[in-house]
Structure 1
Amino acid sequence: MAIFATENQLVFTFGILGNIISFIVFLAPVPTFVRVWKKKSTQGFQSLPYIVSLFSSMIWLYYASLKPHAFLLITINSLGCLIQSLYIALYLFYAPNQTRMATLRTVVVLNLGGFCLILLLTHFFTNRLVVLGWICAAFSVAVFAAPLTIMRLVIKTKSVEFMPFYLSFFLTLSAITWLFYGVFLKDIYVALPNIVGFMFGVVQMILYVVYKNMKTSSLPQIHVPAAAKLPQQKPTINVGNLIIAAAQHHNNNDNCIKDVPAAAAACAVAATCPLPVARGEGLDGVSDQEVEDGVEDAAAGVVDVETGYLSQFMTQPAPVVKCEA
């Protein structure tokens, strides 16, 4: 029977592997959302990656429903829609009102409006599977190209803290399995974007090997004088407007300073040094709890020193800052 042909067996094998590996990739943000749940706050994490991933799963699910013998594409993208929807729902539950409304607008525009537009456009084509296939392929290439900003940051900072190896590895493995699935299924729209994904994944792992042992960091090293050498009055570290950067980042406030390397370093000092911290000027509109949260985030190494925003990609603490009591 045709179903037991070698070619069909290979399609089935790589499809199953692709489902398993893609499921692992879908679970990668779980630690992020565990932290959101524990903190009862989104802490500056961005919802856009999950919204985009949901949209990608939606259009691939639509494509797979029109294509014969694409059941394994249906299973993984159905699962993707479910998991990403749960992430977005949890994000909306804990996000501040302003961020929640912005996220809802994005979901309505992209996931509802964008998907309905694709449904409408493809309805008028007799070969809508071809049109939809190219839309899916183009969108997938754009998604695979997103880590270019992270790779640039790794090269600039000579640090891989923004690019966890396990995630790059599984994304590359996923691209390989779906590439072969597309090849054996004779589906160029599945195979083509995964060629791009495979190349970007290999480059990411090469960068990791090159920079994993580098000690260089973009955060400046700050030395706090010993308390004994300071005047008789109780010494303080006045970080002033630098603390407000982390505090406002914690509350998803975009109207804060972008010169974050100094801010992050100062916050790390404030959080790890035994000397008390003076609130200073520029903190009148920020509560003590917000300052504490901001300092905690900065010291934990979650401030993205390139963009100034809290980063879900950082996996290591901020560099050790010399501090004497």
Structure 2
Amino acid sequence: MLDFDLKSIIASTASVSTIIQFLTGTVVCIEIVKNKSTADMSSLPFVSGCLSTSLWLRYGFLIDDTSLILVNTIGATLFFSYVVTFYLYSIRRGTVMQQFMFCMLLMSMVLFYVHNQSDIEEARTHLGLICCLVTIMFFAAPLTSLFHVIRIKSTDSMPYYLILATFVVSCQWFIYGSLLNDKFIQIPNFLGCILSAFQLSLFMIYPKDRKIGTIVI
């Protein structure tokens, strides 16, 4: 009974935290619309987020987990809207479209395989592995600006609040995965804790210049 209650509490708090994390993208989009440009922002976090939430949504249906289904339905919707916003104001629309189409092709192939797989347990294992890899890519996306950060010795090009939210959320889902004894939820979120903790450490080494108002993701 205690285990069930703990599982329910962690699932609820992790779900709320994840939705809040997803909503941080609206801050970035508001800034994009306000400036009418994406400047030097990368579209990869948005695109990988769209792919990640879509695949986890399918995984949630596969294992019949209400928390995963709810969170990733909201997440997939939000990230798709972020990608559309980014595309409309990007100076590199071709790159955005290529990334998005590649992710949609990959997602279609995975979903087609899962739908036509007669062995449900095997489908769950394969989809879980793919979800792990895509989630790790999502967590590591802000690292694309790592060399730029080190070169200019400034973290102004890194989304602090998104990274902080990622750290909190990945810790919660790691605990939830441990309670479910689901390694596909445990592994990517454990790595998410490590990656986001490393990125947060950069803000201590290279503090943000508060005078600069551009938000970059």
Q: Same fold (TM over 0.5)?
A: yes
State how far apart, in whole Å, the 1-side matches of 2:97 and 2:159 are: 29
TM-score (norm. length: structure 2): 0.84
Going from structure 1 to structure 2, the CA distance change for 1:38 and 1:203 (only over 3 Å counts) comes to closer
RMSD: 2.7
Counterpart in 2 of 1:120? 112
Q: Residue 63 of structure 1 contacts residue 129 of structure 1 at CA under 8 Å; is this kept in 2? A: yes
Q: What are the within-5 Å matches in structure 2 for residues 181-200 of structure 1?
A: 181-200=176-195
Whichever structure has more helix as a proportion of its residues is 2
TM-superposition CA deviations, 1:273-321 (whole Å, max 9, x none): xxxxxxxxxxxxxxxxxxxxxxxxxx9675xxxxxxxx715xxxxxxxx
The 8 Å contact of residues 149 and 155 in structure 2, kept in 1 or not, is answered as yes
1:312 matched to which residue of 2? 216
Structure showing greater Rg = 1
Conserved 8 A contact 2:50-2:79? yes
C-alpha distance in 1 between matches for 2:110 and 2:196: 29
Specify the code of the residue in structure 2 equivalent to 1:38: K
Q: Deviations over 1:18-44 (max 9, x none)?
A: 111112221222232213323444445
Matches within 5 A, 1:1-325: 5-68=1-64, 70-95=65-90, 99-100=92-93, 102-111=95-104, 113-122=105-114, 123-124=116-117, 126=119, 127-212=122-207, 312-313=216-217
Give the TM-score taking structure 1 as reference length.
Answer: 0.58
My pick for the range that moved more, 116-125 or 35-44, is 35-44
Mapped partners of 2:162, 2:35: distance in 1: 24
Distance of 1:207 and 1:45 partners within structure 2: 19
Q: Which runs of 5+ in 1 are unaligned?
A: 216-298, 303-310, 314-325
Displacement of 1:66 after TM fit?
A: 0.6
Q: Which has the higher contact order (CA 8 A, sep 6+)?
A: 2
Q: Identity of paired residues, percent?
A: 25
How far, CA to CA, are the matches of 1:39 and 1:166 in structure 2? 20
Deviates further, 6-15 or 72-81: 6-15
Alpha-carbon distance change, 41 to 149 in structure 1, aligned in 2, over 3 angstroms: closer
